[in-house]
Chains A and B, each alone.
Chain A
């Protein structure tokens, strides 16, 4: 199929079907039914078997009219993971509802003793006939209280090195034995939860990939997640996007009477350069990838964003001055400075700390040798913890 034919087909379909007033559920069902939700997937699995390039044509046409629902072969990490690793029965039962946004999902990866070292998970899954019994604790799970399923990594073999004894499950959350407790963050918000699992059950049919081979499944799922997360760093409360870090700092400097302070002005220019530089890096990475070369700039994005967020929060704090000693609705300038200073850690810790990020950049991009790993070949049961 040529790109032009496809473009015509999609735009004709959208012209006939798309109506911004249409209820979301009904709209998504129509998109899935037509095969546009995940156009790169095979026809038997809700797709159209299109190449990546043609998939972008579909996405473009949807974007042009502002219609949601397509591109899920790139963005829906849950459906994509189930499609890649699930059994046929599970795929038939769940992928449709996932694409139609009828099931709510969460991630059960991190644990108190398995943060940066995710392969050190201690939540255990023990086989019990055609199901597994799960015990342990997960943390940093958003949407845990409302989720229907969680993507779970659990230890199924303690006598082999850590990467080789993990299994990946699509875990049903709505059952006894699952207790969700909100996690109180340094920003005084609670976007995440702790999840306690006590003799909870997951059918073997919900296993994604082979027993003890869950680490590989996780890598695929994480790759999907990273590609989604790229540009999702949050700005301030009630503000959106990058403008916050440029123009709003200038506005604040004016408001606080500091706009003529040469020290402040130097800071404002520095932040502007970081902000614009990140945008140019992203544009360049995109251009390099589109031209078919690999781009080392891409993997720098998260580190760069974290640097920008911390730096702009520092400048904001210096502009707020003594007011940054206060918080709350009566002192919005101080409140925002504190919120941004604390929330910057969301980016420099979440999804791989800056330190882990630097290690990845050093090893995968620059080709520097790996650090010796003392636990690499030890049976997990003998690995030191603490």
Chain B
């Protein structure tokens, strides 16, 4: 399948996800959930799995999923980004399910993936915000199995995860461990995130038992690349929606007896934002299809979309505030929700400057 060709099934997928989110995740719901401790609606989470099969979309059929690819996952994430869906999807699917798949650990896959696919399990990966696996946690072998000790300060949806996958340092390098909800010595502190539509927790591990998984560092790095592409899709969707808001407002807001979009200062800004938004979409979709084809330059591409889609989304969301003027400065207007999402998602899994440098290294420069 050449990059950018869209099948009728993919169009249907986009349309049904968009309908579902319009119904289940309108702005009022996003705001309501932003104020709850849990941060998402378990009923919606169940329906996402039951009605649309979203959590299991990329999970192989043998583990209860649909066996679709990263392009399909990208479509879903673009739509979720547009709607600012409050749900532990990036953590459960983009991080944890991908890590279970890249680990190649069939026993762990059989144990955890069906629960994720059916919407029963919320999962995450305790990986540092800098995208450096094993930075915060050390694992040591005891007579009674592996024990984890340390802190990961920024764990997506760590406050609600039923399953936490932990890359931890061992004497033999970074290894993977599964920590389940009730594990002893697991401390969770919900953080006050600038983007209240996406929760993070500080997780502390104190002699916490962890079940070892296959895979190690290569599995984590592969997962981080796939998660980078998933996040880029979400950012592209958010940028597209923010631009729509800007253009819509520029058409209807009248000052000096004219729609403000007729002024070049506003019109030209919108044209620049269209270039940003469409470039982010093209890059994210290209990277998703490269992931499906297992392209050899995937690591470089993943870093490239991490910084370019982050920068584009921040630019579009920031200028969306500016275009909206006074109303854009109010809490009641949704423009700031997108800027909060844009600013914080740019800092997940390694910030743009980190990925610019890493892009060069990964292309041999």
Contacts and interface: CB of A to CB of B under 8 A. Distances in A.
Interface in B243-302: 247, 250-251, 258-259, 261-264, 266-268, 270-272, 274-275, 278-279, 281-283, 285-286
B28 interface: no
Contacts of A265: 356-357, 360, 365
B247 A300 contact: no
B107 interface: no
B259 A367 contact: no
A173 B2 CA distance: 48
Contact of B270 (A268, A278, A303, A368): A368
Contact of A281 (B250, B251, B282): B282
A110 B78 CA distance: 44
A186 interface: no
Contact of B267 (A291, A296, A362): A362
B275 A304 contact: yes
A269 B275 CA distance: 19
A325 to B, nearest CB: 27
B22 interface: no
B6 interface: yes
A266 B267 contact: no
Contact of B282 (A277, A355, A369): A277
12 contacts: A259-B365, A300-B275, A358-B268, A365-B271, A366-B261, A366-B267, A366-B271, A366-B274, A368-B259, A368-B267, A369-B262, A372-B262
Contacts of A372: 258, 262
B3 interface: yes
Given A269-B307, A368-B267, A281 B278 contact: yes
Contacts of B281: 284
Contacts of B285: 280, 284
Interface of A: 250, 259, 262, 265-266, 268-270, 272-273, 276-278, 280-281, 283-284, 286-288, 291, 296-297, 300, 303-304, 307, 355, 357-359, 361-363, 365-372
Nearest to B262: A369
Interface in B340-365: 353, 355-357, 359-360, 363, 365
A362 B304 contact: no
A368 B308 contact: no
Contact of B360 (A268, A291, A304): A268
Interface of B: 2-6, 247, 250-251, 258-259, 261-264, 266-268, 270-272, 274-275, 278-279, 281-283, 285-286, 304, 307-308, 353, 355-357, 359-360, 363, 365
Nearest to B281: A284
A189 B76 CA distance: 52
Main secondary structure of the interface of B (DSSP, over half): helix
A277 B268 contact: no
Nearest to A365: B274
Contact of A291 (B5, B268, B308): B5
B271 A272 contact: no
Contacts of B275: 300, 303-304, 307
Given A259-B365, A371-B263, A283 B4 contact: yes
A291 B271 contact: no
A300 B307 CA distance: 21
A259 B361 CA distance: 11
Contact of B272 (A276, A287, A358, A367): A358
A280 B290 CA distance: 12
B32 to A, nearest CB: 32
Given A266-B353, A366-B247, A287 B5 contact: yes
A368 B251 CA distance: 6
A268 B5 contact: no
Contact of B365 (A250, A280, A355, A371): A250
B278 A371 contact: no
Nearest to B243: A366
B2 A270 contact: no
Given A303-B271, A362-B271, A284 B264 contact: no
Contacts of A355: 264, 268
A366 B270 contact: yes
A296 B359 contact: no
- Interface-central residue, B266, B279, B355, B356, by most chain A CB under 10 Å: B279
Contact of B264 (A270, A281, A371): A371
Given A287-B6, A291-B5, A371-B264, 8 more contacts: A250-B365, A277-B282, A280-B279, A281-B282, A284-B281, A362-B261, A368-B262, A369-B251
A225 B264 CA distance: 26
Contacts of A362: 261, 267-268, 270-271
Contacts of B266: 368
A283 B278 CA distance: 12
Contacts of B247: 366-368
A300 B278 CA distance: 9
Contacts of B250: 368
A276 B307 CA distance: 13
Contacts of A363: 267
B283 A359 contact: no
Contacts of B272: 303, 358
B231 to A, nearest CB: 16
A313 B308 CA distance: 20
Nearest to B5: A287
A269 B360 contact: yes
Given A266-B353, A268-B360, A297 B278 contact: yes
A286 B3 CA distance: 11
B267 A358 contact: yes
A280 B353 contact: no
A358 B271 contact: yes
- Interface-central residue, B262, B267, B283, by most chain A CB under 10 Å: B267
A296 B274 contact: yes
B274 A361 contact: yes
Given A259-B365, A362-B267, A366-B274, A280 B308 contact: no
Nearest to B304: A273
Interchain residue pairs A-B with the least CB separation, the first 6: A269-B356, A362-B267, A368-B261, A287-B4, A358-B271, A361-B271
A300 B312 CA distance: 15
A296 B283 CA distance: 15
A284 B251 contact: no
Given A268-B365, A269-B360, A277 B308 contact: yes
B278 A296 contact: yes
A357 B262 CA distance: 15
